[in-house]
Amino acid sequence: MAYDKFKILKSTAVPLNIDNVDTDQIIPARFLKATERKRFGDNLFRDWRYSSDNSLIKSFPLNNKKYNGKILVAGKNFGCGSSREHAVWAIYDYGFRAVVSSFFADIFKNNCLNIGVLPVQITESFLSEVFIEIDRNSRNMFEINLKNQEFKITSSSIKERFKISTYKKSNMSNGFDDIDYLINKKDQISAFANKLKY
C-alpha cells in the first residue's frame, strides 16, 4: 500500500523513556482481531493509556496534554517481541511518522520501513540528550531530514546522522513499497523457482 512520502519532518516529540517496549504493549493481542487495517491508533499502548475500567492513566505521556507531535522518542530495544505489523499500524494511525530510539528490534524495524514509519536510530548518549530536551521544554522542535539522514534538536542545532539503506531511503521518500518493485520481477522469480534443487 502506498503511504505518505517522507521528506523532512519538523515536529515536537512524545517521550517514552522505557527500555524493551514490546509489541504486546504497543498493541495488546486482544486488539488484533480486525480483518482490515482500521482504527488501530485507538488502541496504541492501550493498557498503559487506560486502566481496566477504561479511565485515562494521567501519568502516561500520551495522555499528557503537554506532549504531542509526529515523533515518538523511546528507550532502547523498542518493538521487541512479536512480528505483528499491527504495532506499526497503531503507531502510524495514531499520527506518528517517525520513532526515535537507540536500538530497534529487527522485525519491528522492517515493518516500519514497509509502511512508511521512519525508524531513526541514534546513539544512547544523544537519546538521553533528546529526553532531557523534551523534559526541559515539551514545545521543543526536532527535525528529521531523510535526504541528509540527519536528526536534529532545532533549539541547539545539535544533530546526529542515522543509517538507512539507499533502497529503503528511496522507497520512503517516494512512498513506494517492496511489492511495487517485486511485481516487475515475476519472470525472474518463476525462472528461479523452476531450477531450485528440490
Partner 1 sequence: MGKTLFDKVWDSHVIEKIKDGPDVLFIDKHFIHEVTSPVAFVGLKNRNLKVMYPQKTYATADHNTPTINQHLPIKDRLSAIQVKTLEKNCNEHGINFWGLGHKKNGIVHVIGPENGITQPGLTIVCGDSHTSTHGAFGAIAFGIGTSEVEMVLACQTIMQQKPMKMKINVEGKLSANVTPKDVAIYIISKLSSSGATGYFVEYAGSVFKDMSMEGRMTVCNLSIEMGARGGMIAPDEKTYNYIEGREYAPKDAEWMKAVNYWTTLMTDKDAIFDKEYNFKAENIEPMITYGTNPGMAIPISKSIPKANKSESKLSYKKALDYMEFSEGDKMIGKKIDYVFLGSCTNGRIEDFRTFASVIKGRKKSNTVDAWLVPGSHKVLKSIKDEGILDILIESGFKLREPGCSACLAMNDDKIPKGKYAVSTTNRNFEGRQGPGARTLLASPLVAAVTAITGEITDPRDII
Contacts with partner 1, residue ranges (CB under 8 A): 1, 17-20, 22, 24-25, 28-30, 32-37, 47, 52, 75-77, 80-86, 88, 103-107, 110-111, 114-115, 165-168, 177-179, 181-183, 185-186, 188-190, 192-193, 196-198
- Nearest residue (CB) to partner 1, 124 versus 155: 124
Min CB(21)–partner 1 separation in Å: 9
What's the sign of the alpha-carbon dihedral 61, 63, 64, 68? Answer: positive
- Nearest residue (CB) to partner 1, 158 versus 189: 189
Say how many CA atoms lie within 13 Å of 48 toward its Cβ. 18
Min CB(141)–partner 1 separation in Å: 26
Burial of 24 per CB tally in 10 Å (0-12, 13-18, 19+): middle
DSSP string, 91-102: HHHHT--EEEES
Tell the residue number behind the cell numbers 523452476, with chain if given. Answer: 194
- Sheet of strand 13-16: strand arrangement: 13-16, 71-74, 98-101, 118-121
Amino acid sitting at position 126:
F
Min CB(10)–partner 1 separation in Å: 27
Min CB(189)–partner 1 separation in Å: 6
- Nearest residue (CB) to partner 1, 29 versus 132: 29
Min CB(175)–partner 1 separation in Å: 14
- Nearest residue (CB) to partner 1, 97 versus 168: 168
